[in-house]
Amino acid sequence: MCASGGVTRSTLRQQITDALRDEVLAGRLQPGLEFTVKQIAEQYGVSATPVREALFDLSAQGLLESDQHRGFRVRQFTVADYRSMVEARALVIDGVFRKIFDGTGSAPEVLGAHRDALVSVRRRAEEAARAARGGDLDILIGYDLRFWRELGAVVGNTYITDFLHRLRVQAWVFAVPYLRGDTDVRDWLWNGHQVLVEAIIAADGDEVRAILDGYYAHGLKWADRLAADDPPHPGRG
């Protein structure tokens, strides 16, 4: 990732941030791994300044932890952390859709204003669901994040959208090391993206709530399985 003459420092900073986030999401930078600004700068062939800025950006996103004397390390989330992420998403999204379907305005009118965005979300949903059914974790993560991010356009509140995106990235960072070594991975990859979009487009509030309830129950059931050490913690043995 060598900077060309036309690349500004801020762009380089973002490139490094994105590249390292992808490495963490893919599980190539394992939880607990420690490294320094110098090591990353040498790896990408760039100066220390944009690397340091990128690492602090990732720390602010909750993906890294910094130590004044030892550098940085990939954050290790616990099963309790993951459960809290699922519960937090459930509370926020439940409030969002309650406002859409139970608010003073009619849901068809609210959703109709985002018709073009929902068409794009439907395409993301198809790809995400296909990847989940096939157990293709690398493809799923990208489409899943884009699916929920674009679905957030219906909310119309960037603070909520950014908060939920951050939680979802952190949840994937926690989950990937477990899923990589799980022979039953397809059983634990939620694939209800398409049915959720269709229910939203149809303005079927009851169906939307039922699908989302199933989604959160799926995540909490997986957390129970992990709490029972099945599969074993990837850092053991």
CATH number of the domain at 9-74, please? 1.10.10.10
23-54 burial: b if 16+ Cβ within 10 Å, else e = ebbebebebeeebebeebbeebebeeebbbbb
Which residue ranges does the chain devote to CATH 1.10.10.10? Answer: 9-74
**Confidence band for 107, pLDDT divided at 50, 70 and 90:** low
Task: Tell me the per-residue pLDDT of 137-178, one tens digit each, with 9 for 90 and over.
Answer: 999 999 999 999 988 877 778 899 999 999 999 999 999 988
What pLDDT score was predicted for residue 108?
Answer: 67
Ranges of CATH 1.20.120 domains, the chain: 79-227
Q: Report how far apart, in Å, the C-alpha atoms of 110 and of each of 85, 104, 152, 164 are.
A: 28, 10, 13, 21
Q: pLDDT tens-digit profile of 181-236?
A: 777 888 889 999 999 999 988 888 889 999 999 999 999 999 998 888 766 656 54
The alpha helices in the chain, defined as continuous H runs, are 9-25, 37-44, 48-60, 79-102, 107-112, 115-134, 137-151, 158-180, 193-201, 205-227
Architecture of domain 79-227: Up-down Bundle (1.20)
